[in-house]
Amino acid sequence: MKYSGWPEPGELVVGKVDEITDFGVFVDLEEYEDKRGLAHISEVASGWIKNVRDHVREGQTVVAKVLDVDEGSQQIDLSIKDVNEHQHKEKIQEWKNEQKADKWMTLALGEDVADEEYRRVADALLAEFESLYDAFESAAIHGTEALDDVDLDDDDVETVVSTARENVSVPYVNVTGYVDLECPNGDGVDHIKEALQAAEGNGDVSDEIELSVSYVGSPEYRIQVQAPDYKRAESELEASAERAREAITTAGGTARYHRERETDDE
């Protein structure tokens, strides 16, 4: 999504070098519709510049600081030299993230979504999150709860969450489920222990997955999974519960899997 307004003085912007002249560099702003800025030769690099092309090339993506904006004359003054390496990397990553979020919005709303519909959903998300990327990442991790305060109807929320969980990779996701295990046989305790070991994977769980099973209160046990993404976490959680179910039913017992805790604390 490109902004239709104007950047603010002091803002860092991403742009593509469109034209190089003897007096400076014209930059098309990637984040703003139909906006072009000029970095005077004195703002391209520190020190004396003999040839501007020694410092930038046409088509190059740059990060620049907005020095001044004159809407009346349609002029945006930029500085490339005032952006340090850390700022450059951080801004480029932020821009790439927003490009991803823009694609996710299109996936969620459809390729032919009208601009008005896109902006309605985007504005609602941006009213609660710093960026669309932050909104999708939070939705991927926390589900519909992340969008409780967003002014969208249930269908919109479900669409955003399902798209996020299909496409967003986050550093890790934690999910929790519960399984009730019962075995009336005389050696039922041993069978339940075996079922719990099966739930933990018997040492066969991938190194990138953290899975633990803990006692809550008879007959309830908690399964916790930490994984690189939501889909993997959910899959591992369900597989863990299924392993426990198979083990205990084979021994003549019963198992019931549920996502919410049901045993009260004593």
Q: Which of 167, 198, 220 is the last residue of a domain?
A: 167
Q: Which of 27, 59, 82 is the last residue of a domain?
A: 82
- Helix-strand-coil split of the chain, %, nearest 5: 40, 25, 35
Residues 63 and 13 sit within 8 Å (Cβ to Cβ): yes
Q: Which of 148, 167, 186 is the last residue of a domain?
A: 167
Q: What is the pLDDT of residues 3-36, one digit of tens each?
A: 778 999 999 999 999 999 999 999 999 999 999 9
Average pLDDT, the chain: 91
**Domains of the chain: total:** 3
Helix (H) or strand (E) holding 211: strand 210-217
User: Could you tell me if 78 and 91 lie in one domain?
Assistant: no
CATH code at position 51: 2.40.50.140
Look at residue 181 in the predicted model and tell me its pLDDT.
95
Domain span including residue 50: 12-82
CATH code at position 195: 3.30.70.1130
**What is the C-alpha separation between 60 and 58, in angstroms, rounded?**
6
Label the pairing between strands 24-29 and 36-40: antiparallel
Q: Average pLDDT of 184-211? A: 87
- Structural domain contains residue 6: no
User: Could you tell me if 77 and 143 lie in one domain?
Assistant: no
- Structural domain contains residue 264: no
Inform me whether the pLDDT recorded for 266 exceeds 60. no
**What is the C-alpha separation between 125 and 146, in angstroms, rounded?**
11
User: Could you tell me if 178 and 251 lie in one domain?
Assistant: yes
CATH code at position 121: 1.10.150
- Token pair for residue 206? 């991938």
Residues 208 and 228 sit within 8 Å (Cβ to Cβ): yes
Residues 160 and 108 sit within 8 Å (Cβ to Cβ): yes
Q: What is the pLDDT of residues 118-169, one digit of tens each?
A: 999 999 999 999 999 999 999 988 889 899 999 999 999 999 999 999 999 8
**What is the C-alpha separation between 102 and 20, in angstroms, rounded?**
30
Name every residue whose Cβ is closer than 8 Å to that of residue 220 and which is 6 or more positions away in sequence: 178, 179, 180, 261, 262, 263
pTM: 0.62
Helix (H) or strand (E) holding 91: helix 85-109
